[in-house]
Amino acid sequence: MRVPHPRSGASLLLATTLAAALAAYGLGPGAAPAAAATVPVGAGSYSDTRPAGASGPTTNTGTPVTPKVTAAAQGKPVPTNDWWSSLAFQRYGDNPWSTPMYGHPLTYQATAGGLDIGYPTSPAIVGDGRQYEFAHKRDLTVGLAGLNAPDTRADAWSDWTVTPYWSDGTRTLRTTIGHGSPFVYAQGTGGNAQVTTAGTPAVFADQGNVLGITVAGHHYALFAPTGSDWTVSGSTISAGLGGRNYFSVAVLPSTDALATYRKYAFSFVTGSRVDWSATGGIVRATYTLTTEAKEGTERGTLQALYRHQWLHTTDALTPYTYVSPRGTMKVREATAFTTVQKAAPVLPSLPRTDAVDTARLRGHLNEVVNSADPLNGAVDTYWTGKALGRLAQLVPVADQIGETATRDRLLALLKGRLQDWFTAGGANEFAYDQNWRTLIGYPASYGSDTELNDHHFHYGYYVLAAAIVAQYDPGWAADSAWGGMVKTLIRDTANPSRTDGAFPFLRGFDVYAGHSWASGHQGFAAGNNQESSSESTNLSAALVLWGSATGDTTLRDLGSYLLATEGEAVAQYWFDADQQVFPGSFAHDTVGMVWGSGAAYSTWWTANPEEIHGINVLPVTGGSLQLAARKDAVRRNIAEMERENGGPAVEWRDILWEFQSLADPATARAKWDAGNAAYTPEAGESKAHTYHWITTLDALGAPDPSVTGDLPTSAVFTKNGVRTYAAHNHGATARTVTFSDGKTLTVPARSTATGTGTGGTDPDPDPDPQPSTGNTFRPRSGGTLTTATDGTPGSDTIPSAGGTNHDGTPYRPLVYEARGVNGTLRAGGSTAFRLPVDAGTAVGLGQQVRISYDLTGDGTFERTETYHYFATDPVTGWEEYNQNRGLQTATGTLGNLTGGTVRLEVWSAIGNADSRLRTGAADSVLVIPYD
């Protein structure tokens, strides 16, 4: 049952705490009257108690629940919606420890006796082939002899690490675990260190205080303090701590890694932190671990990077790898690494083109504003958000065609409903929960109250709608007006502050996993989950627009970081863009849901393929353009939907037409023309927006995220090799936007501009140097091919083949690309290359090359050439690897390049050591057969 919580009787302490937190953030008064039930924020307000009859967080049986944390963590905002939230949110009354938690490569589950850990390496295909999972399976338990704790509590946490705590009155245990960590760092009192294994362990190394064991085919190392000795008795392994309180356990990628891992066994991780910047169209993020030396002076560590991370770092990586549900993880030997990505394009709306029929668009707009209920009867937080988002998309569209009266009617509808929600005491309001440090909208939906689910999904729509209002009425968005309430919703969902006592840091966004989680409690055997990744990125794009419209560069840049990061994570883990993540036994090209343990071709409410594919597309907005970065994945996605659906989309045809237009605008336009007369728009869509979107992209061409502007609200489109540059300037003065291909665009104040730009030079040639003239390219460190001749010679490390034969199949390749290449195929010509490589003194190494041609830059490579590998000698010094080694295989045919992409991949086909490739030098070139 649900327990009512009356709104009266708020304490002076609660009201004062809330007011002080708001004042510290620059919002709200510095004090509040005693027993206040309403907290004012600018012109708006929220309640400090729930509406009568409403519920807050509960167990699955409806019993109110408070955070399960230690005394040391009391009063700190708890990060719900995280990979480890079941430690703090006891959703199920009979499990006071935790459900399985997926840190990757390790999995964890707290039990009375300590921490169960596993390393799942073999996927299972379940649910009629619709789901793959690397389910948690205990290999061993890390604990103390005799430990029998009645519960496990969260004792401390940072950006991607957490410290669970056990106490049974005699013994206490703390372990620190985290994403990417191969180690479990343990500190205990009251008993000997104890590790119990799921089966009898095989010992492969016994060095006293260091023990190497194999359990269920997985290799682990156990590290006790120097002077201690591990004793093995069946499946129980124990060691006295000799008056000290620490030990650690690590999962090893191989038994020969023991010496490397032993080096860092007593460098205990004490915290994790991400820092980001977004400038000049480039997003940089640095992920740093802090450590404490329990013995000696070593302060380094090892951390495993996910695919979305190692694809975008040039930091050195070791040869060690792990299996995970997100594909291969690669190990870095350091306390930090940095990723560099292009910023994702964001626009308030697609720009105006002459292709749009004004009369037709006007008619579709009138269908919305003249309807009996433009807000579609929405009542709760989610469906109100959908309705707000639907109307917000039409405001710039109406403005583009001079329909100012319609624009203003839409703005009035948005303001009215937002202000209604942003004012406490009515039929709908937001209420603050002091225990969970969260803002809950009532009427709630989909467990946003009892389970703290989906806040980023729901509130993202409100922020997006507010950003559109702010674009046209900056005064409305002032903190002293309604902007304060917008910022309060942002603080609940994506708080950039780690010191804000009222809300946790980035509640739903997992900075290391690279995406958000939807469940507030994480109380599932499969870990946490997220279905609608696009509603998550909707919040990120909304932050870019809100920050741009209000001059809040902190929130704008936060949005750029979140959107670039999650955009790549979605491409890899939802759409399997590189086809390197999903297991080979999983028969789908996309998934509707990602779980901690894997992913599923499903949704929470239906098995209809249209919704499975569409749920990670909607809402379609000017923040959806980043989906066009992988057009091949879009095409596979649409093709699979039609196969599974038995034909083209019917229910969500508008969403899927808009999605297809990101890769093939003409095809989407043809489907619209054939089917627009008789369909019902998806609840967050309108015919006005769909017509404008599809027609505009058909005219401009598909988005081209490979070129970025130095203004976050900018984008590029390409059609038939011609680029159109677009940008929206929220500022009060005109500004010039410079794009990464050297083009510039002058944008008047508070306007959107488009054009082909003017000549210029590339302001940031390292992230995206463009080919100028000629057919001779040099690989440059950082992953580019360039015709420029002014580079500094250097070298890149070619990772080891790991002792496995990878002849003909790229393995951890170095990848270099040139984009936007135009050229006429030379009759009878063929590819040539001269690549200096060096194996040093290593024996038995062979480097291999693959060269691929995407003739139109659409993401599909029409021609791929793989050459026989080159066996390097064990003598230090450069050797030339060239095309004379011979073509091993070739697929497809060459043709003229029109805005095309040329890709060079270099990897180790054989050998057990790294080698080098010379870069940026005149003797290291790829010559393509084009004029």
**Catalytically active residues, by annotation:** 454, 531, 535
Give every CB contact of residue 95 below 8 A, 6+ residues apart in sequence. 523
Assess contact for 522 and 89: CB atoms under 8 A. Answer: yes
What's the CA gap between 489 and 463, in Å, rounded? 8
What's the CA gap between 96 and 115, in Å, rounded? 13
| Strand, helix or coil for residue 109 | strand
Burial of 875 (0-12, 13-18, 19+ CB in 10 A): exposed
619 backbone dihedrals φ, ψ, rounded to 5°: -80, 145
Sign of torsion, CA 317 309 491 481? positive
Tokens of 106: 């390790």
What's the CA gap between 150 and 129, in Å, rounded? 39
Name the strand (E) or helix (H) holding 261. Answer: helix 258-263
Place of tokens 């063929």: 830
Assess contact for 157 and 512: CB atoms under 8 A. Answer: no
Give every CB contact of residue 663 below 8 A, 6+ residues apart in sequence. 628, 631, 632, 634, 635, 638, 702, 858, 859
From edge to edge, which strands make up the β-sheet containing 161-167? 152-157, 161-167, 172-178, 183-189, 246-252, 218-223, 210-215, 202-206
Q: What is the DSSP string of 138-195?
A: -SEEEEETT---S-EEEEEE-SSEEEEEEE-SS-EEEEEEETT--EEEEEEESS-EEE
Q: What is the DSSP string of 407-443?
A: HHHHHHHHHHHHHHHTSTTSSSEEEEETTTTEEEEES
Report CA 57 to chain centroid distance, whole Å.
Answer: 27
In order of 314, 318, 321, 399, 630, the CA distances from 801 in angstroms are: 19, 12, 12, 58, 28
What's the CA gap between 650 and 641, in Å, rounded? 11
In 455-538 the beta strands, taken as DSSP E runs, fall at 509-510, 515-516, 529-530
Burial of 74 (0-12, 13-18, 19+ CB in 10 A): exposed
In order of 319, 392, 915, the CA distances from 846 in angstroms are: 16, 57, 9
